[in-house]
Amino acid sequence: MSIAETCPQCGWTFDIEALQANACKKCRSALLITSVAYLEKFDRPAIQKYVARNSEVLKRDTEDQDALLSMGLCYLRLGVYEIAEKFLGRLIEAHPEAASGYYYKAIGCLRGRRPRVQTLNTIRGAEQLLLTAMTLEPDNGRYDIVLAAIRQDYYLMNGLRVPDTSPAELVEGAQNKHLDFNEIAQGLALMNIPESSFSAASFAKQP
């Protein structure tokens, strides 16, 4: 990434060690936003600092992978879903091998509304994006869990036939994969799914 050499939050000039740790040594903020979990404690003005920084990066390189992902995540967190989808779409187009683009676009296409109130076309679109992410990064269980949450909330809660693979099977399979529990909690929150309504909510609460 052709990243600027100062922290987007405090302006500290970082070194290679800080970049490798993805943390500013002065304010401890993430230097690169690669997960919505990094934005959990930031308010709108702080998130807009990341937007401003990555906008500058994209002026120099319109296909910068880290900057496109960061912009998509920032706008997703801000609830500006159309712009989030635009950047995530650009990420997928420029870097089709990047599973995160498909994952976050699947969450973003729900526009902050629960799966149960979506149209079937929207749900199928989200499912296909998640299945693609699972193919690209098969050892990451977050895709399985989010797909399970969507299928449970849409199909089961609406009394519809659940496609293969079932939510229970997806959750079981995810237990043998890498799981970022905070990331899972953030994914559920972005889809407006209460943890109490999803049988895999315990994943998001583990240490």
Residue 33 lies in a domain: no
pTM: 0.84
Q: What is the pLDDT of residue 37?
A: 86
Ranking 9-13, 39-43, 162-166, 171-175 by mean pLDDT, the lowest is 9-13
For range 89-109, the mean pLDDT:
98
Structural domain includes residue 38: no
Q: Does any domain span residue 60?
A: no
Distance separating alpha carbons of residues 76 and 43, to the nearest angstrom = 13
Burial 54-80 (b: 16+ CB within 10 A, else e): beebbeeeeebbbbbbbbbbbbbbeee
Cα(31)–Cα(20) distance, rounded to whole angstroms? 10
Structure token digits, residue 12: 């500290």
- Tell me what pLDDT residue 182 has: 87
CA distance 52 to 203: 34
Question: Is 189 a member of any domain?
Answer: yes
Residue 20 belongs to a domain: no
Q: Which domain holds residue 135?
A: 111-121+129-207
Residue 85 domain flag: no
Residue 203 has pLDDT above 50, yes or no: no
Task: Identify the pLDDT of residue 18.
Answer: 43
What per-residue confidence (pLDDT) applies to 205?
40
Number of domains in the chain: 1
Residue 50, pLDDT > 80, answer yes
21-28 average pLDDT score: 53
Phi and psi, residue 13, nearest 5°: -80, 115
Q: Is residue 79 domain-resident? A: no
Query: Which of 29-33, 163-167, 192-196 is least confident?
Result: 29-33
In a domain, residue 204? The reply is yes
